[in-house]
Structure 1
Amino acid sequence: MKRLAFKMQLNEGQKEAYKQRHDQLWPELKQLLKENGVSEYSIFLDEESNTLFAFQKVTGNSSSQDLANNEIVKKWWAFMADIMETNPDNSPVSIPLEELFYME
């Protein structure tokens, strides 16, 4: 099992919208993530900088970041594009983070 982390940027004042949308995560998106090896997925917010910190546990060689061509993912990105920093294709600007410490 791999542990992956990355950061994204939430637009100012969008905390509640972001949380509400994720509290109502589409079942088909959740199923897609699980089918592609994502067994755990957490997102944290640093309110001082509006930085989102995401953490995933993944089996296999893929992650949520590898599903860019899936129609469900594209639809989700379009749904989220108004409240966070995105690329021209609506994918979130996502910066991978290097793991420097892990304790079991």
Structure 2
Amino acid sequence: MTRVCFQLQVDPDRIDEYRRRHAAVWPEMLRELEASGRRDYSLFLRPDGLLIGYYETDSVTRSDAHLAASRVAAVWEEHMADLFVGRSGRADQTATVLEEVFHLEDQLANIGESDPNEGER
């Protein structure tokens, strides 16, 4: 399983519209996201328009390919395009992916392994 976090910039003047459109995402788009293999998908929006998205998937490549080939996703992305700053192309294909640098469960799972620095803290 892979965790993916990404960043986009919503036009600060269009935040209310962005929220309105996401209050009731089209059912066919929700099903398409699910069919692409994305789980635990969340979006977080700052008041200045910084948008952070997160999802989990077994294959980023397969998920991306599924959505890239989806007519529903293409129409949804076209419907959303006017809300983003500096986007050329589909936002779902041009978002900045953020590197994961910490995950609590991963580190907790490694506690049992020998830690050469243990006791030096």
Fold match, TM over 0.5? yes
Place the TM-score, normalised by the shorter chain, in its bin. 0.7 to 0.9
Identity fraction in percent: 29
Give me the whole-angstrom Cα distance separating, in 1, the residues matched to 2:4 and 2:53: 8
- Where structure 1 has 5 or more consecutive residues not aligned to the other structure, the ranges are none
Which structure: larger Rg?
A: 2
SS in 2 for 1:99: coil
Q: Could you tell me which residue of structure 2 aligns to residue 20 of structure 1?
A: 20
Q: Distance in 2 between matches of 1:10 and 1:63?
A: 26
Which residue number in structure 2 is paired with residue 41 of structure 1? 41
Question: Mapping of 1:21-100 within 5 angstroms?
Answer: 21-48=21-48, 50-62=49-61, 65-66=64-65, 67-85=67-85, 86-87=87-88, 89=89, 91-92=90-91, 93-100=94-101
Change (3 A) 1:61 1:51: closer
Decide whether aligned partners of structure 1 residues 64 and 94 sit closer, same or farther in structure 2, where only a CA change above 3 A counts: farther
CA contact (8 A) 1:36 1:62 kept: no
Letter in structure 2 aligned against 1:28: E
Shift of 1:94: 0.5
Give the partner amino acid of 1:60.
S
* Structure 2 residues without counterparts, runs of 5 or longer: 106-121
TM-score by length of 2: 0.74
Where relative contact order (Cα < 8 A, 6+ residues apart) is larger, the structure is 1
Number of equivalences: 101
Q: Compute the displacement of 1:65 (Å).
A: 3.9
